[in-house]
Amino acid sequence: MSKNILVTGVSQGLGLAIARAVLNQGWTVSGVSRHLSDEYSMLQREHGDRARFHPFDLNRTDDVKAELFDKFLPFELPLHGYVNNAAVAYDDIVTNLDATRLRAMYEVNVFAPMMITRYAIRHMLFNRITGSIVHISSISVHTGYKGLAMYASTKGALEAFSKNTAREWGERSIRSNCVVAGFIETAMSGSLSAEQKQRIYQRTALKEATRIESVAATVVFLLGEGAASVTGQNIFVDSGTI
């Protein structure tokens, strides 16, 4: 069955890999990020109408309904899944915490995804769709890393939101899960030195970075019929962080 999947943060990194993996299933991606990147444009050339795109800044939480749903995903276009991938990382030690930066991060990482979830569920109910919501969380919630307390707290909030959404909407066959990713080589982790990365990888069973394709494949699994009985879970894709 063909699906239409809303994926945020498709311009680069994991979101781009998820978009590619969803398209390779023969499904449609309704992609969102602030910029249309060359890489996503290439996917559009390759997959035509199935690689949709709408530029949107997730800081604009109040415009989620008008911009993302009324304009980009009207009820006539059934929605089967939502992948909450876009995020920003504000790293610093807690004693330097800056409230303005913290609020801005919560807007993108937590408040916008909650509002999108609200409208995505309403969309799925309207079209009587057994939908799947997947949030990208981070291993930092579970292990702790110096400098990531504020960022990890946004992902912890998503994990709680996902579990409770699963409980609330399971009766209507709407599932919600988190993929808890380990450290992946993307722009987000680009500020770490080679030495810091090695220290992180030494904390994993596989002694390596988490592979982006492995995270994307897990997301696709959670979106599909094979995961019909999986909800309210945190699936760890983290090279076995121990």
For the CB of residue 10, give the shortest distance to ligand NAP in the complex, in Å: 6
The reply on whether position 33 binds ligand NAP by CB under 6 A is yes
Question: Does the active-site annotation cover 82?
Answer: no
Out of 27, 145, 183, 236, point to the residue binding ligand NAP (CB under 6 A): 183
The reply on whether position 199 binds ligand NAP by CB under 6 A is no
The reply on whether position 124 binds ligand NAP by CB under 6 A is no
The reply on whether position 114 binds ligand NAP by CB under 6 A is no
The reply on whether position 147 binds ligand NAP by CB under 6 A is no
Find, among 106, 100, 131, the residue nearest to 228 by Cα: 131
The reply on whether position 132 binds ligand NAP by CB under 6 A is no
* Span from 72-80, 95-103, 161-169, 182-190 in contact with ligand NAP (CB under 6 A): 182-190
For the CB of residue 180, give the shortest distance to ligand NAP in the complex, in Å: 8
For the CB of residue 160, give the shortest distance to ligand NAP in the complex, in Å: 16
**Contact residues for ligand NAP (CB under 6 A)?**
8-9, 11-15, 33-35, 57-59, 85-88, 108, 136, 138, 181, 183-184, 186-189
